[in-house]
Amino acid sequence: MSNQSYTIKQCLEMAACTNCQICADECPAVQAVRQGEVSPIYRLQRLQNIFRSRTGGLLQKLFRAKTLSDEQWEIFSKTVFQCTLCGKCQEICPVGIGLKELWLSLRHDLVQSEHYPKKINMVRDNLLESRNVFAEDNEERGEWVEDMDDPPEDLLIREQSEVVYFTGCVAAYFPLAQKIPLALADILLKADVDFSLLGEQEWCCGLPLLNSGLPELFQEFIDHNIAAVKEKGANDVVFACPSCYEIWKKYYPYQANGLRIHHASQYLDTLIEQRKLPLKTLDMTVTYHDPCDLGRGAREFDAPRRVIQAIPGIRFVEMPNNRENCACCGGGGNLEMFDADLTTGIAGAKIEEARSTGADTIVTACQQCVRTMLTYAKRNKVPIQVLDLTQLVQKALAEEDDA
C-alpha cells in the first residue's frame, strides 16, 4: 500500500482541514442516517491517520498512528462508498478543499489496496465485457427507439449527422428512464434537428469506472466514444444525462477534436430562443431539482430554469435548497449498489423538501434523479409528479394545429 493515488495538492489539502465539521452538517448521507461514520470529516480524519501510518519513522511515532486491521479497513471502506459524490461538502468547505476529487482518489487507493466492496468487480467486468454498466447486449442500446409513436425506419441511426445524441446507459436500458430519450428524440425531430444516435457504437461514458476507483480503465472509453462521434461527421454532441455531460466536459478532449457539447437543458434553451419549439400553455406548479453533476459539477443552473419559465402557464417555485446548495436525490456515486437503504433515506428527504414548496411536480434534468425520486414517490404513495425537463417540454409542445 502507498499514497500514490493522491496528488501533491491533495496531500497538502488534507492537512488544511480545520475540523470545522460544516461538511458533516450539510452531508445528505449524515442527514439521512444521523451517523457520523458516513460524514466527510470522519472520512478525512481516517485518511489522515492512514497517511501517517504509511510514512513510518518519526511521523508515525509523533502522531501515534496505527495501521488499520483488516476489520477496520472493511468498516472504513464501507463508509467511503456510502457517499453519493454529490460535491456538497466541497461546495461549502470554508478552506476550499477539493473533497470530491479526494474521495475519488480515496476510492482508487482502496481498490489498489484490496480493501473495497466486491461489487466493484461486477462494475468492472460489466463495462469491459458489455461496454455498459448493466451487462446488457450493447447492440440493444438503441432499442428504446422502437417505442416511439412513429419510429423512423432508420431507428435514428444515420451514417452522417450534424448532431449526435449520446443517450447514456441508464436512459438506454432502464425502462423507467427510457421516457427521457423518447421525449428528447421527439423534440429534436419536431425541431428538424439533423441528429443521430450512436447505437451499439456508444459505450458507457466511463463515470462508473471513476466512481469505483478504476480510473486506469477509463481512457479506452474516451478514445472509443470520441472516434464514434467523429465517424458521424458531427459537430455537436447532446446529453440528457448530466453525468455523461460533466464527464465529457471534464475529461474528454472534445474541443481538440472540433466538437461542441451541450446538456439537453442548454440545447432546448437554444431551440426555444430560436423559436423552433412552439409551446402551449401548461397549468402546473413546478419546482426544480438541480442535479449534482449538472449544477455543482458543470455549473449549469440557469438554462433549465429558463426553459421551465419559457412555458406559458407554468408557476415556478424554488426549493429552500437550490442551485449550488441543492440537496442530493441520493442517486449518485454508485450508492444504490452499496447501500440501497441510504439512497432511499436521502431521496425521502428530497421529496419532502420539494413538497414543502406546494408544487405538484418536481422537474429535474437527470434520468438518475427522476428514477430515484419517482421510485421513492411511487413506493411511498407520495402524491407528486416527477419529470425530466425533456418530458416537460414534450408535454408543452404545440401540435401543428395549435401552433
> For 319, left (φ over 0), alpha (ψ -120 to 50), or beta?
beta
Task: Using alpha carbons, select from 227, 238, 248 the residue that is nearest to residue 165.
Answer: 238
Q: In the chain, where are the structural domains located?
A: 8-116, 137-271, 275-396
Which residue, among 293, 362, 365, has the nearest Cα to 332 in the 3D structure? 293
CATH of domain 8-116: 1.10.1060
Burial 293-315 (b: 16+ CB within 10 A, else e): bbbbbbebbebbbebbebbeebe
Report helix, strand or coil for 55: helix
Question: Could you report the per-residue pLDDT of 146-205, keeping only the tens digit for each?
Answer: 999 999 999 999 999 999 999 999 999 999 999 999 999 999 999 999 999 999 999 999
Q: Cα separation of 170 and 177, whole Å?
A: 7
Low-confidence ranges of the chain (pLDDT < 70): 1-3, 55-68, 400-403
3-state DSSP percent of the chain in helix, strand and coil, to 5: 55, 10, 40
Which pLDDT does position 1 carry in this prediction? Answer: 45
273-331 per-position pLDDT tens digit: 999 999 999 999 999 999 999 999 999 999 999 999 999 999 999 999 999 999 999 99
- What is the model's pLDDT at position 189? 97
Largest Cα–Cα distance of the chain, in whole Å? 80
Give the Cα separation of 55 and 2 in Å (integer): 9
The reply to whether the predicted model has a pTM over 0.85 is: yes
Q: What is the reported pLDDT for 3?
A: 67
pLDDT digits (tens, 9 = 90+) for 278-293: 999 999 999 999 999 9
Provide the CATH number for the domain formed by 275-396 in this structure: 3.40.50
**DSSP helix/strand/coil, 294:** helix
**pLDDT at residue 71, as a whole number:** 82
CATH, domain 137-271, list 2.60.120, 2.40.50, 3.40.50, 1.10.357: 3.40.50
What pLDDT, on a 0 to 100 scale, did the predictor assign at position 2?
57
Locus of grid cell 423512423: 152
User: Fold match between 8-116 and 137-271?
Assistant: no
